[in-house]
Every structure is written in C-alpha cells, then in structure tokens.
Structure 1
C-alpha cells in the first residue's frame, strides 16, 4: 500500500502557534494538501530575537504552495483576542472548518523548582488556550454543518508525573478538554480529537530543553501528516479519540517511518513514554 497525502482543497484551517516547529510544519502540510490557512501566533517580527520565524512568514510560505493564507497575531490566553481572531478568520474566508490547537508552552521541573507564575503560564497557554479557541469556533462550525477540532496533546495514561507535573497537567488538560468536547458534540458532525507523536520531535524546544538528541528525533512532518490523515476521516464517525501518530499513519499505509527520522535507525518512543511510561509499540 503506497501512502499518499489526502486532498484538502476547498477547506480552510485555523492553526495556533505557526511561527516555527510543529505548528509551522502543520500549516505548510495543510497548504501542500490544498487547504487554505489562517496562521496565528504571537511573533510578527523576529528582528529583535534569536527565535526565527513569524506568522507572516508562515502565511507567505503557505501562499507559495498555491493556497490563500492570512496571518493574525494572537495570544490564545486572551478571550477578547481569540474572539476577534475567530471573527477575522471567518470574515476573511467565509468558512473555517478545521481548527488545530497547537500552541503550547513547555517547561519541565519539579514542583519545588517551578515558580507559580510558570505553572500559571503553562496552564493558561495550554489548557485555557485550547478551551477558548475551541469554544469560540463552535457556533461557526454548527452553522456550516460540521468540521474538525484537533489538539496537539497526548492520550491520558498517567496519574502522576514527577519532575514535570505542571507541564504534564497542562498537556493532559488539553486532551481532557478536547475529549470532553467530543462527548458534548456526540450527536453533531463536529469531530474533536487529540494527536501525539510516539517519538520526540525535532524543534527548538526539544533542543533548548535537552530532550534527547538527533538519534531520538523525528521531523515535524510525521505530526503534520498525522493531522492531514485525521482531517480525511469523517467527523461524524471519528471523534473523541486521543491517538498516536504511528497508529494513524500505519492505518493510512505508511510502512517505513524512516522518511521522518532525523538520523538513520528507529527512534525510541520517548514522547509516548513521557505520558505513558509503560508504552510499547504494537
């Protein structure tokens, strides 16, 4: 079985956190598949920071792939800003049927070592941001007859996370909100699902926080392809799932994951074990 990316022409996606890393890769993959993109995030000018990338650069790269794109500066913690961004996206494109909650903050530390304001930041960006963006799009998704809400967060398989309690709480909170929403929408054609990589993904955050090395990483493309495949599923029948990228892509025909590896070999499932210490590949 040969793997082919699905055709998403005629659709429009609102993606949070697109300046770099996984969010940018998701936006570009959507564009490659023909999907229009609303690129959102906080960075509009990278001239005075060591972090490369802006929401406008991502939007331009999407347009280079033949779709329409629009950049909106957005702090997902801000209720009014989220509402305004959703309204602007809908006004620009008419319909937005895909919502990807990707924006996240990360910091791993023991409870004793993590200041309360950092706990607040992780909770506000990750859980509150997912909650606000998903909630803001519900009236529109109902009005257009359905759509997809996808959240970059792991399956819930743990009841403690020593050394990373605040981060784990916030990421699992994203999943909990998404799966709860799916249950609330059970009789409607609006899918709410979460997705998570089995292996660590090469991003600036992975490097900055010392999460493994190149032998442990795959490129963000493995996550982006997972998003495309989830968007190819019927929102009326596939909802309320927290899935691993490998499972989704195997079902789509991927047999060799080497295309995604940063180095030769098969990376260990360290991202899955971050939230499920007993995880083993099927």
Structure 2
C-alpha cells in the first residue's frame, strides 16, 4: 500500500546515513521530501549534503526541498517547518532522525558534550514535534517517527555510557507521551530502532570503524521499515517502540540478506539496548 504519493515528509539529519535512506525510500513512493540538516557544504570525511540528497530524491521520483537546519535552534526549527509547509502546502510526517552520539560515562564526558547530546536527541524531538504539530493536525493522517530505542532498564546499558542512553531513552519517553497527547488529533507517534547495528558514519567514526560495520546492515532496512510505518493508518499503529526487522516481517519479508553491509557469514551484531 502506498499512501505517500504527494505527501510531505520532513526529515531531520537527512544529508547522510539513515536519514538519506529514508528520504530516498519516500521519494520512490512519490513523496515531497524535506531534507533538513546542517550539512550544506561537503565534509572532508563524511559524504553527502542536503543538496546532493535533494538531487537523489528527484532522481528517485520525489519532490525535494533542501533546508539548512540545526535542530538545537528552536527558532530556526519553526522557520524551516513553516517554510516547508508553505512550499508544499502542508506537512504529513515528521521524522526525528538527527542524532548525536558519544559512548562515554559520567567520569569522562564533558558537560558541554552532554548538553549537545541532550539538545540534538531529546530536546530536538520535543522542539520539532511542537513546531510541526499545527501542520500535522491539518494533515488528517499525521505521523511522527523518532529514531530511538525501546526502554531497557538493564544497568549494563547505563554503566559505560549512561549520559547517551538517557538522551536516547528520553526521545522514546517523549514519544510515548505524545502518542497519547496527540491521539485526539489523529496523529500517530512511534519510535523505530534497528535490530542490528547499521553501517553509518556514526559507527565508522564513533563506535568501531569498518570492522564493526561489516557486522551490520545497510541503512535501507531502517528506511523500508520507516516507509512501512508511514503507510499504516494512524489509528492502527501509535505509541509503539518498533524494531525494523519486526516491522518488515509483518509485511511478509523473510529474507534479510540483501540488507547486509558486506556479504559473508560474519554474525550480525545486535544494536544497543537489545538483549
């Protein structure tokens, strides 16, 4: 089922990785895609800008609007969301994909880095959702989807990087609250998390490099799961903390080998927070 044709999807952190993959998956269904990220000029280590992704979106069959956005700036968030809604005539889905990671404990983590984690992860979910709410109300089938994990309170997930964990769990808790708060507006709110690690720049530069990426999947699996969620009726799926593979299995997918980052028999590594 494709309900994304001519619908407008606003994606934060969309210049690379999972955000880019979701943008292209939406484009293949004919969506209007807002590529909102800080990357408007090429980075020496990281591929992709909002403009290169916009070109890819158009080539894939969607309409594209690249917008420079720092999700720490609430005034800019409101300006960009209103600008996107004005350009396309509304907003039907918000994907809170922008994220910051630093896997360090309290002893070693600078407070300024924790501030960044909190602002880009937890605070941005609230700020972006609040700014998009007036437009999502008008949609009639509004979706908010945030890239955050199910809540797992096993102390092992706090022992070595509690500050990061707390900001990712806050994204999920805010989403659970919004699902109930916005239910009366016909807006579905869910979270999505990968069953295995996803081969992205965050893994490459922050968590273990190319060797670890070889035990992960491509961002496409998260993109296909996200599109599946956006295509579901808002009254049938809300308030859920979803896992990419589980979503696709519900759609009848049984073969996940094509999503591997590298072919081979290396065991795939579960992502954080999944036992």
2:99 to 104, 112, 127: 104
Native 8 Å contact 1:12 1:95 kept in 2? yes
Unpaired stretches in structure 2, ≥5 consecutive residues: none
| Structure 2 match to 1:275 | 273
Native 8 Å contact 1:194 1:241 kept in 2? yes
Mapped partners of 1:150, 1:264: distance in 2: 32
My pick for the range that moved more, 209-218 or 72-81, is: 209-218
| Structure 2 match to 1:77 | 72
- Indicate whether 1:261 and 2:273 are aligned: no
The CA deviation at 1:17 is: 0.3
| Structure 2 match to 1:146 | 141
Mapped partners of 2:178, 2:214: distance in 1: 37
The CA deviation at 1:110 is: 1.5
TM-score, reference length from structure 1: 0.91
After superposition, the C-alpha distances for 1:73-92 in whole angstroms (9 at most, x for unaligned) are: 00111110001001100110
| Structure 2 match to 1:35 | 31
Native 8 Å contact 1:199 1:267 kept in 2? no
SS of equivalent to 1:9: coil
1:117 to 101, 112, 119: 112
After superposition, the C-alpha distances for 1:149-202 in whole angstroms (9 at most, x for unaligned) are: 000010111254111111111111111111110011233310000000010000
The CA deviation at 1:66 is: 2.1
My pick for the range that moved more, 240-249 or 60-69, is: 60-69
SS of equivalent to 2:183: coil
Q: How many residues align?
A: 270
| Structure 2 match to 1:21 | 17
2:190 to 172, 190, 193: 193
Unpaired stretches in structure 1, ≥5 consecutive residues: none
Mapped partners of 1:140, 1:108: distance in 2: 36
Question: How much is the aligned-residue C-alpha RMSD, in angstroms?
Answer: 1.5
The CA deviation at 1:269 is: 4.6
Mapped partners of 2:93, 2:9: distance in 1: 4
Mapped partners of 2:219, 2:2: distance in 1: 18
- Correspondences of 1:194-233 after superposition (within 5 Å): 194-211=191-208, 213-233=212-232
SS of equivalent to 2:163: helix
TM-score, reference length from structure 2: 0.94
1:11 to 4, 7, 14: 7
Change (3 A) 1:254 1:267: farther
Native 8 Å contact 1:19 1:43 kept in 2? yes
Mapped partners of 2:267, 2:29: distance in 1: 27
Native 8 Å contact 2:29 2:62 kept in 1? no
| Structure 2 match to 1:136 | 131
The CA deviation at 1:112 is: 0.3
After superposition, the C-alpha distances for 1:113-146 in whole angstroms (9 at most, x for unaligned) are: 1110000000000011111001111111112323
After superposition, the C-alpha distances for 1:93-126 in whole angstroms (9 at most, x for unaligned) are: 0021011000000110121011100000000000
My pick for the range that moved more, 212-221 or 167-176, is: 212-221
